[in-house]
A and B are shown apart, each in its own frame.
Chain A
């Protein structure tokens, strides 16, 4: 399955849930926030939210800034 992950067309295999995607990207336990098709997916729904081909997924974190 292909999704648009942080702006890049990405093949994510059989990955089905947000949680599975986070594990696949080795981001487990990191402070991140996830948006799918411009809607926040709360942490509590990472396990249940199923990805669909072509989904636009953004994974963001906090960085230094003014």
Chain B
């Protein structure tokens, strides 16, 4: 007989008595409900058209943007990001990417709020090192506190440390976004046990942000119980970004369904799929 392995913390099994999986509830962030659990960035695309088509194919309803100096003397007819991803159609998530201090991150958020007519939902990201783009957690905590005090709704990028994730939630961050691997690395989820623990502890949405390289990485994040995934490079740097965006949409949906369905337990040995009764040999 096949031995059943001891309970695996990775496996979210469902009630075997009723054999029913629970009803899913859509992702809700800052009072808005999203049918898509995929959030995408708008950087690194070859053209505006490619960015627009990839975002469309991803099915995403929330997209990130950056705030930078206006090119003075530029062609006044050149389209801006907000012409491609209109704030009427998408929830825009200004991102403090590129900031290495709490001070710069807070300044960036204030400029974003002015730019978007008082919109106060932001993605806080304070980096500590150019080589790894790893989050500077102490500066992140400092910036989060100041932003929350100033009325911002903060979705926070952090490392995959369960204690820090919980601390950020308790401070009042409305979503916590641990990295799967360094930004733009495409290495996939490096510490699935930490991501799983962060999900288990949380009562705000947990979204894997950074590190996804291909569709299976996105599925894994969702199978671990994450509420969503935010990615940019995995789509923008694919050979065919529009096709990859569609693949990611399906991977996110498949991973979520697999999580809700409750996977089978892992066994050390085989378990025959055909009945053993009635064999004639």
Contact = CB atoms under 8 A, between A and B. Distances in A.
Nearest to B72: A25
A24 to B, nearest CB: 10
Given A61-B80, A62-B80, A66-B64, A32 B70 contact: yes
Contact of B45 (A5, A25, A64): A64
A59 B70 contact: yes
Query: Main secondary structure on chain B at its contact with chain A?
Result: mixed
On chain B, which size bracket covers the interface? 35 or more
B114 A64 contact: no
B72 A64 contact: no
Interface stretch (B36-44, B163-171, B188-196): B36-44
A32 B115 contact: yes
A27 B230 CA distance: 33
Interface residues of A, number: 25
Interface string A44-66: 00000000000000111111111
A31 B78 CA distance: 13
Most buried by A among B51, B69, B110: B69
A38 interface: yes
Interface of B: 41-45, 51, 64-70, 72-73, 76, 80-82, 92, 94-95, 97-98, 107, 110-112, 114-116, 183-184, 210, 230-233
Interface of A: 5-7, 25-27, 30-35, 38, 40, 42-43, 58-66
